[in-house]
């Protein structure tokens, strides 16, 4: 994020563990069609979430935008003071 000459950035790393899937589980997931149009062919908040035993990092980052870290950047840049 840039505001004037100041620049803020944050790298957010998240590890997503996926269980080993059986051929039947793969076929069932593909049959849902939920994989279409998704980066990585899954959405953690959708049916594929049943195959994810744990994550380490930002759940909202996996969904699409790391909210806690983004709020921190906005606050540091003077744009936000918290939730309303």
What would the pLDDT profile of 52-78 be if each residue is shown by its tens digit? 999 999 999 999 999 999 998 888 888
Domain enclosing residue 47, as ranges: 19-52
> Does residue 30 sit in the same domain as residue 46?
yes
> Does residue 36 sit in the same domain as residue 61?
no
Helical spans, DSSP H, in 1-84: 23-32, 59-63, 67-76
Q: What is the pTM of this model?
A: 0.75
> Does residue 23 sit in the same domain as residue 13?
no
> Does residue 23 sit in the same domain as residue 47?
yes
Tally of domains within the chain? 2
> Does residue 83 sit in the same domain as residue 71?
yes
Distance CA 50, CA 55 (A): 12
What would the pLDDT profile of 25-34 be if each residue is shown by its tens digit? 999 999 999 9
């Amino acid at each position: 994020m840039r505001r004037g000459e100041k620049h803020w950035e944050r790298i957010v790393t998240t590890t997503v563990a996926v269980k080993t899937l059986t051929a039947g589980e793969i076929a069932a997931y593909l049959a849902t069609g939920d994989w279409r149009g998704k980066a990585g062919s899954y959405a953690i908040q959708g049916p594929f979430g049943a195959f994810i035993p744990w994550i380490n990092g930002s759940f909202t980052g996996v969904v699409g935008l790391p909210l806690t870290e983004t709020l921190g950047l906005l606050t540091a840049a003077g744009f936000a003071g918290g939730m309303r």
